[in-house]
Each structure stands twice: as C-alpha cells, then as structure tokens.
Structure 1
C-alpha cells in the first residue's frame, strides 16, 4: 500500500509525555494567575491609597511573600511604589526658628533629624534584606532544578 504524501500517520505521543506537558502547562497557568492576582492587589492598594509593601500586596492578592520576592518584576514594582509613597508622605522638615533658642527645642529638633536618618537607614537595610531573600530563593530553586541539596 502506497501512502500519498498528504496522508501522514498521526504522531503518537507517549502518555507520560502528555502528562508532563499538561503538568508544565498547569504550572505555567498557575504562575500566570498568581502574577495577575499580585498585579490586581497592587492596583487595589493604590486605588484605596493603602501602604504598599510586600506583606500588604501578599495579603491583598493571596500570594506568598516568597513568590513576590522571587518574581523580579513584581519585586521591583513594589519597591518602587513603596519608595514613591515614602517620598510623598514625608512631612516637610521644619527648622527651629531663631526665637526658639531654648535648649529643649534645639535638642528636640536634633533628635527628630537623627530619628529620621535612622528610619531611612533601616528602610534601606530592609530593602537590601528583601533583595537578598529573593536572591536566596532564586538560588535555592536553581539548586533544586539541578538536583542538588540546598
């Protein structure tokens, strides 16, 4: 029996390969849904003028902190929005006036400046720590993919 060139036998894919492909597709779909939920959570926080940070986004979008830290684009977006909020919510600095020459006012203002500087340092350290956590998670996944213990 000669087959015509346009008649090809259907390609048979082993059932295990079909299951693997289906699992991969399901994982990709689940990941994409989590990204969409996170984006919706961020939009909701912005709309409601709520504080934007990793915990708030995780709560609003029902995703894990690990997911947010590990997803580079989401992490950058949250960090950027968080930084923008801090800039907009800072009250203007008030320098002590010349008539308030008392020691108490001078010391109080000095204390305020120091506290603000410490807060900024702490925020910077928190950002670095969050980035480090994300990197650790990424490296652990990389090790697991290669079959190495983490």
Structure 2
C-alpha cells in the first residue's frame, strides 16, 4: 500500500508553516498598529496561531521578546494588574487542570467499557466451557 508522496507532504508542511508565519506577522502588525502591548498570547490570538508555534519558531520568538520589551510602556491605563508571568502561569495551570480532568473522565469511561467487554467475554468463555457443543450450533 502506498503511503503517499513524501515530497508532496514536505511541501504541504512547508506551506502550512509559512502560512502560520504570515498570520503571526499580520497579528504583530495589527497589534503594533492598534498600540496594543506585544505578548505571546496577544500575537497568538491576533494571528490565529498557537503560542507553542510562536515559542518554537526562533525568529518569531526573538522578535516578540524584543517587541515586548519595547512596548512594555504601552500598558493600558487603569489599576495595576498581576504580573504577566503570574497571570500566564495561572492560566496555564488552569488550562492544564481542565485538560487533565477531562482526560481522566474519558479514561474512566473507557475503563468502564473495557471492564464490561471483559466481563462479557469471561461469561462467554464460561458458557462455552460448560456446554462445549453449543458453539457449533451458533
């Protein structure tokens, strides 16, 4: 069975990466134009890319860090807020906690289904052992 054309897959991945880079650049430009502070979260939201992508792409990460330090004075007027690192950390913890809870619930449901299937298989084995000639009639 053919697994596809690796060259075409590599080209598609390259186009996808470039499209994400273009969206991130557009997000940065939009934030700068609006006078909004440059942060990884703001760029990810404005550019419709993941923060992980921004952190993994070295030149984008460096650019955002540089712009973040330059635009630090653009903070919106109002009451002082939590430090960005604390807010970001608490958001990450909250997100991961929710994901973990959902994953645990999914695993519990899967375990219940597997236990029920195992019980049914054990019952069938017991039935076949007690009545060995019955399986031929099925």
Q: Using structure 2 for the length normalisation, give the TM-score.
A: 0.51
- The Cα offsets for residues 69-121 of structure 1, whole Å up to 9 and x where unpaired, read as 000000011010110012x448xxxxxxxxxxxxxxxxxxxxxxxxxxxx6xx
Q: Which residue pairs with 2:54 in the alignment?
A: 68
Q: Kindly indicate whether residue 41 of structure 2 is the aligned counterpart of residue 55 of structure 1.
A: yes
- The 2-side partners of 1:45 and 1:35 are apart by 15
Alignment of 1:18-97 (within 5 A): 19-86=5-72, 88-89=73-74
- The Cα offsets for residues 47-67 of structure 1, whole Å up to 9 and x where unpaired, read as 011111000000001100100
Alignment of 1:114-133 (within 5 A): none
Q: Which runs of 5+ in 1 are unaligned?
A: 1-14, 91-118, 127-150
Q: Using structure 1 for the length normalisation, give the TM-score.
A: 0.47
> 1:40 Cα shift?
0.4
1:31/1:76 Cα in 2 relative to 1: closer, same or farther (>3 Å)? Answer: same
Q: Which runs of 5+ in 2 are unaligned?
A: 76-82, 89-138
- The 2-side partners of 1:89 and 1:40 are apart by 19
- The 1-side partners of 2:45 and 2:74 are apart by 22
The count of residues paired between Structure 1 and Structure 2 equals 80
Q: Select the structure that is richer in helix.
A: 2
Root mean square deviation, CA, Å: 2.5
Structure 1 residue ranges (4+ consecutive) displaced by more than 3 angstroms after TM superposition? none
> Which structure would you say has the larger RCO, counting Cα contacts within 8 Å and 6 or more residues apart?
1
